[in-house]
Amino acid sequence: MAETTETGLPKGFRGAEQGWPELHRIPHPPHRLPLLGDVLGVDRRRPLQDSLRLGRRLGPIFRRRAFGNEFVFLWGARLAADMADESRFAKHVGLGVANLRPVAGDGLFTAYNHEPNWQLAHDVLAPGFSREAMEGYHGMMLAVAGRLTGHWDRELAAGRAVDVPGDMTKLTLETIARTGFGHDFGSFERERPHPFVTAMVGTLTYAQRLNSVPVPLVPLLLRGASRRNAADIAHLNRTVDDLVADRRRSGGGDGDLLDRMLETAHPRTGERLSDQNVRKQVITFLVAGHETTSGALSFALHYLARHPEVAARARAEVDRVWGDTPQPGYDQVAKLRYVRRVLDESLRLWPTAPAFAREARQDTVLAGEHPMRRGAWALVLTPMLHRDPEVWGEDAERFDPDRFDAKAVRARPAHTFKPFGTGARACIGRQFALHEATLVLGLLLRRYELRPDPDYRLRVTERLTVIPEGLRLHLERRTAPARAAAPVTVPDDGSGSAARCPVHRPAD
Ligand code: HEM
C-alpha cells in the first residue's frame, strides 16, 4: 500500500481542483458520470494508451476524473517546454511514482524533492555515470551481450523465433546487475524468469493497478493483490540484502555502483548513505535500470525488422565503423551515429517511461495561459509530445530516423524530445542506457538479419513502462563477416570526482 495522507490519497497528492483555479477551461472527455468520473470506455490495463487516445481528441492539455480525483495531462510542445523551466517547476512524485514508495522509498527515482537523501545519493552516485565510469562498464556490457548472442545462436540453430522483449529484459537486467553490483542472476541459463524479475514485474503492475482503484476501496478490491505485493517487496528486499551482505563479506568489488554506495562519502559533507537507503537505491537501480532499456531495444528491433531499408543502412554503418574487429571499443559505439538515430526515433514514438509529472514551485501561469497554484501538477505525456504535429510534422506517426540527423535536431525547438525526463531529476542512467542499447543494436545488426512475423501487429503492454507485447522475430545468420562478442577483460572503472554533476547538462 502506498504511503497515504489522512485523506487516504497518496502522500504528495493534490487534486487539480485545488491547484488549477481555471480548471473549467481545460477540456475533459464527454459523458462524465457523477461520482465515477471519466470511466466510460476506459481500458484499465492500458491507462496510458487511453490517455493518448483522449489527448488526440481533446488537444494539448486536458483533464480526466476518476473516482473524485481530477488529473491534468498535457502534451503540447509549448506547454511541455514551459514546464521544463526549472526555476518555476520541479519533478512531482505522484500517481505511479508515489505508488512505488513502499518498495523504493527515498531512493533516487521516488524521493521527494525536499528529502535530503536525494541530493546526497545524487552527488555520491553521479560519478558512477561519468564517461570514465561508462568506459569501465563497456567490457561488462560486451560480455553480457555475448550471452545474448549465444542464446540467439542456439534459438536460430533450433529453428525457433526469438522472444524479443523477454530476451532484452534478461540482457538489461544482467547488464545493470553486473555493472552496478557485480551480480549475476543467470537469466540466460534459466527456463523461467528469475524470481527477482517476477517480483519486480508484480510490484510494478500492482503500482499501476493502484491508480485505477479508489483509495478507500484498495483493502477490499485488491486484498489478494496487496498480499502478493507485500511478498514481492519482501523478495526484492531479501535479494538485495543478500547481495549487499555478499559484498561486505568479500570486502569490496571493482569500484561499481554498490562500492560507491557503501564506501563513498559525500565530497563536501562527508556524509554516507545509510544501510536502509542503500537497499532502496539498489532496488531503484535494478528496477529503473533495466525495464526501460529493455523496452527501448525491443521497440528499436521491431522497427528495424519492419523497415529493412533502415536496417540495411544501420548495418552498413556498423560494418564500416567496426570493420571486422571482434570486440568494438568504447569509442566505436559513439561513432554509430545512424544506429543511435534509430534508437532515438524508437524512443520518440515509444518513450519507454512514457510520462513524467511536474509541479509548480510557486503560483505561476503555465505558458501564459493556465494559472497554477504552488504545488499544482500535471502529467507530461511524452509519446504525444513526441508526436505533436507542430514540431514533428503531419507525418509524426511515421518511423524515420533521419528526424535525428544533426541538422534536423538543431532546427527543432528545445525540450521537444524528452524520453529521459527533464531538469535535475532527469534520468541519471541516460548515457548508460544509450551506450548499452547502441552497442547491442550494433552487435545484433552485424550478426543477424531480422525477419518479422508478417501477421504481428504492434501491441503495447503497460506496467509503468511500456514494452511491445508478444514480439517475436525470426533470425538469419548474416553471411558477411560477423564475429561473436566474447567476454573480454574488464578494465578499471576509474572513479571520477563529484565536484560537478557529470551526468546532467544545462540543456536537460
Ligand atoms: C531507455 C532507457 C531509460 C529511459 C527511457 C529512462 C527514463 C527516465 C525518466 C523519464 C526519468 C525521469 C522520471 C521522472 O521525472 O519522474 C528517469 C529517471 C531515472 N532513471 Fe532512467 N531511464 C532509462 C534508463 C535508466 C538506466 C539504465 C538507469 C540506471 C542505470 C536509470 C536510472 C534512473 C534513475 C535513478 C532515475 C531517477 C533520477 C533522479 O530523480 O535523480 N534509468 N529515467
Q: Is residue 490 one of the residues assigned to a domain?
A: no
Task: Tell me the CATH number at 243.
Answer: 1.10.630.10
- For residue 505, the model assigns a pLDDT of 58
What is the dihedral sign for C-alpha 94, 96, 99, 103?
A: negative
430 CA from centroid of ligand 1 (Å): 7
**Largest distance between two CA atoms of the chain:** 66
**Quick one: cell of 94?**
505522484
- 420 is a catalytic site residue: yes
Q: What is the rounded distance in angstroms from the CA atom of residue 170 to the CA atom of residue 162?
A: 13
Report the relative pairing of strands 377-381 and 69-74 from DSSP bridges: parallel
499 CA from centroid of ligand 1 (Å): 22
Q: What is the rounded distance in angstroms from the CA atom of residue 403 to the CA atom of residue 401?
A: 5
Q: What is the rounded distance in angstroms from the CA atom of residue 438 to the CA atom of residue 331?
A: 12
31 CA from centroid of ligand 1 (Å): 36
- Active-site residue among 427, 432, 438, 465? 427
Using only C-alpha atoms, the chain has a radius of gyration, in whole angstroms, of 22
**Other Cβ atoms closer than 10 A to 244:** 18
User: Are residues 180 and 252 in contact, defined by beta-carbon separation less than 8 angstroms?
Assistant: no
504 CA from centroid of ligand 1 (Å): 12
The 3-state secondary structure of 349-366 reads HCCCCCEEEEEECCCEEE
- Active-site residue among 89, 299, 399, 420? 420
Q: Is residue 413 one of the residues assigned to a domain?
A: yes
Q: Is residue 484 one of the residues assigned to a domain?
A: no
Give the three-class secondary structure for 162. Answer: strand
Q: What is the rounded distance in angstroms from the CA atom of residue 412 to the CA atom of residue 410?
A: 6
Q: What is the rounded distance in angstroms from the CA atom of residue 127 to the CA atom of residue 495?
A: 7
Q: What is the rounded distance in angstroms from the CA atom of residue 220 to the CA atom of residue 319?
A: 58
Q: What is the rounded distance in angstroms from the CA atom of residue 28 to the CA atom of residue 41?
A: 14
- What are the pLDDT tens digits along the chain (508 aa)? 445 444 444 454 567 888 999 999 999 988 887 777 777 667 777 888 989 999 999 999 999 987 778 899 999 999 999 999 999 999 999 877 888 999 999 999 999 999 999 999 999 999 999 999 999 999 999 999 999 999 999 999 999 999 999 999 999 999 999 999 998 999 999 888 889 889 988 998 888 788 777 777 778 888 899 999 999 999 999 999 998 998 989 887 788 899 989 989 998 999 999 989 999 999 999 989 889 999 999 999 999 999 999 999 999 999 999 998 989 999 999 999 999 999 999 999 999 999 999 999 999 999 999 999 999 999 999 999 999 999 999 999 999 999 999 999 999 999 999 999 999 999 999 999 999 999 999 999 999 999 999 999 999 998 889 999 999 999 999 975 544 444 333 333 333 233 355 556 555 5
End-to-end Cα, the chain, rounded Å: 33
Counting beta carbons within 10 angstroms of the beta carbon of residue 242, is it exposed (0 to 12), middle (13 to 18) or buried (19 or more)? Answer: exposed
Q: Is residue 506 one of the residues assigned to a domain?
A: no
Residue 229's alpha-carbon distances to 97, 365, 462, in angstroms, are: 16, 40, 17
Q: Is residue 374 one of the residues assigned to a domain?
A: yes
Residue 487's alpha-carbon distances to 149, 256, 306, 336, in angstroms, are: 12, 18, 31, 21
Nearest in space to 105 (alpha carbons), one of 361, 280, 317, 340: 280
Domain range for 23: 16-477
Q: What is the rounded distance in angstroms from the CA atom of residue 450 to the CA atom of residue 406?
A: 27
Give the three-class secondary structure for 143. Answer: helix
Q: Is residue 369 one of the residues assigned to a domain?
A: yes
Q: Tell the residue number behind the cell numbers 483509495, with chain if given.
A: 215
Q: Which atom of ligand 1 is nearest to the CA of 91?
A: 15
Give the three-class secondary structure for 99. Answer: helix
62 CA from centroid of ligand 1 (Å): 26
Q: Is 501 one of the annotated binding-site residues?
A: no
| Nearest residue (CA) to ligand 1, atom 18 | 427
Q: Which atom of ligand 1 is nearest to the CA of 382?
A: 10
Q: Is residue 290 one of the residues assigned to a domain?
A: yes
Q: What is the rounded distance in angstroms from the CA atom of residue 7 to the CA atom of residue 232?
A: 27
Is residue 361 left, alpha or beta, with left meaning phi > 0 and alpha meaning psi from -120 to 50?
alpha
Q: Is residue 108 one of the residues assigned to a domain?
A: yes
- 67 is a catalytic site residue: no
**Quick one: cell of 245?**
551482505
Q: Tell the residue number behind the cell numbers 542456439, with chain if given.
A: 154
| Nearest residue (CA) to ligand 1, atom 16 | 356
Q: What is the rounded distance in angstroms from the CA atom of residue 78 to the CA atom of residue 112?
A: 26
Report the relative pairing of strands 448-452 and 472-477 from DSSP bridges: antiparallel
Nearest in space to 332 (alpha carbons), one of 439, 485, 406: 439
User: Are residues 67 and 221 in contact, defined by beta-carbon separation less than 8 angstroms?
Assistant: no
Domain count, the chain: 1
**Other Cβ atoms closer than 10 A to 186:** 12
- 292 is a catalytic site residue: yes
**Other Cβ atoms closer than 10 A to 48:** 21
Mutate to test the pocket of ligand 1, among 144, 174, 386, 427 (most ligand atoms within 8 A of CB): 427
Q: What is the DSSP string of 400-443?
A: -GGGGSHHHHHHSPTTS--TT--GGGS-TTHHHHHHHHHHHHHH
Q: Which atom of ligand 1 is nearest to the CA of 176?
A: 30
Residue 85's alpha-carbon distances to 71, 360, 420, 505, in angstroms, are: 21, 10, 16, 14
- Active-site residue among 175, 203, 284, 292? 292
Q: Tell the residue number behind the cell numbers 524512443, with chain if given.
A: 347
Task: List the Cα angle 123/126/128 in 5-degree steps.
Answer: 130
